[in-house]
Chain A
Amino acid sequence: MNFLAATIESLGAKVTGWFAVGYAMFAFLARATLLLLDRTTWNRATLDVVVKQVYFTSVQILHVFLGYALVISWLIITIILSTARDFGLTEFASEMTIRVLVLELLPFLTALFIALRSGSAINTEIALMQVNNELDALAHCKVPPMQFEFLPRLLGGVISVVTLAGLAGLLALLTGYLAIYGMNTAGVEPYTQTIAKIFDFQIVAGLIAKCALFGLAVTLIPVTAGLETPKKLFMVPVSVLRGMMRVFFAIVAIEVVSLALKYI
Chain B
Amino acid sequence: MNSNIPTGTCNSGHHLSRRSLMKGLLTTGGVVVANWGALTHSQTIAAEAKRSGKRCIMLYMAGGVSQIDTFDMKPGRPTAGEFRPVQTKVTGIQVCEYLPNIAKHVDKLGIVRSMRTRTPDHGPGGHYMHTGYHPGERFPHPEVGAMIAKYCENPESDLPSFVKIGSGSGVYGAGYLGPQFEPFVVSEDGKVPGFVNPSVSAEIQDRRGDLLNFMEQRFTEQRKGEPFAAHHTAELRTLRLMRARQVFNVTAEWEKAKDRYGDNKFGRGCFTALKLIEAGVSFVEVAHGNYDTHNDNFPWNKANFALMDPAWGSLMDDLTQRGLLQDTLVVWTSEFGRTPAINVRAGRDHFGRAWTVVLAGGGIKGGQHYGSTDRDGFEVAENPVNEADYCATLYKAMGINPRAKHYLGSRPIWATEEGAKPIQELLG
Report if A and B associate in a common complex: no
Binding site for B on A (CB under 8 A): none
